[in-house]
Amino acid sequence: MRPLTETEQKTVFEKLANYCTDLKSLIAPLDDGDRYVFRLNHSRVYYVRLSVANLATSVSRDALLSLGTCLGKMTKTGKFRLHITALPILSEHARHKIWVKDNGAQPFLYGSNVVKAHVGRWSEDCPEHSGVVVYSMADIPLGFGVTARSTTEARRLDPTGIVCFRQSDCGEYLRDEDTLFAG
């Protein structure tokens, strides 16, 4: 497990900036003097407390499977892909949100995009192609995606028009359980 390089860190922060309001709050010092850091192990990026990451240095890289919260994976081309395991962090710091009705939660969890008929409400002034966290009407985070239209354009769509392209949802824990945590 090693710290991210400058280019890797820039790539991760650019991706997180699409979804989060304040990136400084992710790495700000905590009340107990500790702070969170980003670490890379087997091309996966982890979000972990610095004190725990320092303890993990006594474990060899091959023996260490996971540590902290897995945010995503660095691809071979140098891009960063968020995983569903990043949902608790994204939902805590989300900039834009979409709430789906009960009839829209199941299709979303099965891997479909969010259509206008399934939207209960959404954040105001949400631009096109920005990251959103998808919630149920009971404020339970279900996944995240990218807006297909801005909020004003989405209001004029027909009920079958796509409002949000699904990036990841909680159903992936079951659909991709073999490959989600594998190297």
pLDDT digits (tens, 9 = 90+) for 35-88: 999 999 888 999 999 999 998 888 887 888 888 999 999 999 999 999 999 999
Provide the 10 A C-beta neighbour count for residue 142.
25
For residue 131, the Cα-to-chain-centroid distance in whole angstroms is 9
pLDDT in tens, 108-146: 999 999 999 999 999 888 999 999 999 999 999 999 999
Q: Give the model's confidence band at 179: pLDDT under 50 very low, under 70 low, under 90 confident, else very high.
A: confident
The CATH code that applies to domain 94-174 is 2.30.130.10
Distance CA 49, CA 77 (A): 28
Distance CA 168, CA 86 (A): 10
Distance CA 132, CA 116 (A): 15
The more confidently predicted of residues 181 and 43 is 43
Q: Give the model's confidence band at 173: pLDDT under 50 very low, under 70 low, under 90 confident, else very high.
A: confident
Distance CA 13, CA 97 (A): 19
The residue behind tokens 């009960």 is 102
| CATH architecture of the domain covering 2-85 | Roll (3.10)
Q: Answer whether 142's CB lies under 8 Å from 134's CB.
A: yes
Task: Tell me: pLDDT of 107 over 90.
Answer: yes
pLDDT recorded at residue 183: 54
Name 46's bridge partners: 39, 70
User: 1: helix, coil or strand?
Assistant: coil
Where in the chain are the domains? 2-85, 94-174
Where do the H-state alpha helices sit in 18-122? 24-27, 50-55, 87-92, 102-109
